[in-house]
Amino acid sequence: MVTITELFILIYRFLPATVSEQLRLWQGEDKWNGNPRRTRLNQKIKKLNRLVNALNIKLHKALRQDDTTFVSRTMLESTRYRPQNIVVLRAVLINPLTEKAMIHEIVQTQRRLGLKLWKNFEPAYERLVKNMEIH
């Protein structure tokens, strides 16, 4: 989830677990503040977010083709990644007939499609992480 939900609109983006953990690690390196490595880390975070943006755009298109769930897509200027815009998916959860099992099925469908798409993005991700470790 990208934001804390206060109404009935859930804003999120698909992040494979390895990417989520890598972003957490890079963002947690506050000790590098003011150091040239911090600047490189910020550039890597931006590149990784661009990769995740492209993944979420592809996922949104795949979900529309799958036609079993519906989410919209937009871009947000997240406080965490400001001033970089990130692509997010939005789900409206207002239907009072929605049951937990339905949500679970939707999440599983989106996860399955997202992980399938991720295979095409993973080589670029691995190069990005490897380049950071070398320098």
Whole-model pTM over 0.95? no
Q: Is 30 or 77 the better-scoring residue by pLDDT?
A: 77
pLDDT at residue 120 is higher than 90? yes
Q: 68: pLDDT confidence band, cut at 50, 70 and 90?
A: confident
Residue at 43 is within a domain: yes
Any domain includes 4: no
Mean pLDDT throughout 64-90?
Answer: 87
48 lies in some domain = yes
pLDDT above 60: residue 135: no
Domain-embedded: residue 107 = yes
Query: What pLDDT, on the 0 to 100 scale, is given for residue 134?
Result: 45
Closest CA to 15 of 99, 101, 69, 78: 78
Domain count within the chain: 1
Residue 3 forms part of a structural domain: no
- Domain span at residue 74 reads 9-134
